[in-house]
Amino acid sequence: MDRMKGKVCVVTGGARGIGRGIVETFAREGALRVWALDMNEAELAALERDIPCVKGEVVNVADGAAVEAFVAKAKAEYGRIDVLVNNAGITRDALIQKMTESDWDAVINVNLKGPFLCARAVVPHMIRGGGGVILNASSVVGLYGNFGQTSYVASKAGVIGMTRVWARELGRHGIRVNAVAPGFIGTEMVRQMPGKVLDTMVSKTPLGRLGRPEEIGNAYVWLASEAASYVTGAVISVDGGVVTGT
């Protein structure tokens, strides 16, 4: 299929895990260019070698000047950015009484400030171009909470709030804004967790397995495509029916 044919896309946190799954799916669906932003230069180089339409760029999404410089560079290549996926995210998990201020700041800066800075940089170009799509990575824990993840949950709940605000603000400019809330996904990092932890994840998932990165990528492709042309302000859970708890 060619649901992304001719599209210029930007995926933050695109070098590995869910981000790489999104990049690969966009490329497979015919994207003209997929910019993969990440801090891991080696992983980006490997991605470029593997997928011809991908171009990697080392960008700290929490640095406003760096984001603005990248957007100017990306726009100079083809004159537009059609799709922005705010996927970059980190965790610094701890119980609230043990969570440090520096760990809180790190998570909020990447997971919440990052999407704000990227959207702020891209939106003027999308408006001038007549429209576009912004897709934000939330999480099932942003909807339901999770033990020991105060900062991560706060950031992912905040992403949902920003998604709904931007959908209201930008719809009149032809820009759709939605969020995806993944459940437990079998990325390389997750699969390195202790077996007991993985078993717990699976036990809380009615479909009885971890999700695959490409399954999250498929959700993003659908939301970015014309098939979802009347969808904005939505939060799409891709979680196997996960039930969270302590």
Query: Can 152 be counted among the known catalytic residues?
Result: yes
Q: What is the pLDDT, as a whole number, of residue 244?
A: 65
User: Per the residue annotation, which of 144, 152, 220, 230 is the catalytic one?
Assistant: 152
Q: What is the pLDDT, as a whole number, of residue 154?
A: 98
Residues of the chain with pLDDT below 50 are 246
| CA–CA gap between residue 242 and residue 227 (Å, rounded) | 26
Residue 201 token pair? 């994840």
Q: What is the pLDDT, as a whole number, of residue 189?
A: 67
pLDDT tens column, 87-133: 999 999 999 999 999 999 999 999 999 999 999 999 999 999 999 99
Element spanning 109, H or E: none
Q: What is the pLDDT, as a whole number, of residue 120?
A: 98
State how beta strands 132-137 and 175-182 pair.
parallel
Q: How do the domains of the chain map onto residue ranges?
A: 8-185+216-237
**Which residues, 6+ apart, have CB-to-CB distance to 173 below 8 Å?**
126, 127, 131
- What pTM does this model have? 0.94
Q: What is the pLDDT, as a whole number, of residue 242?
A: 86
Of 63, 64, 53, the residue nearest 11 (C-alpha): 53
Assigned fold of 8-185+216-237: Rossmann fold (3.40.50)
Q: What is the pLDDT, as a whole number, of residue 246?
A: 46
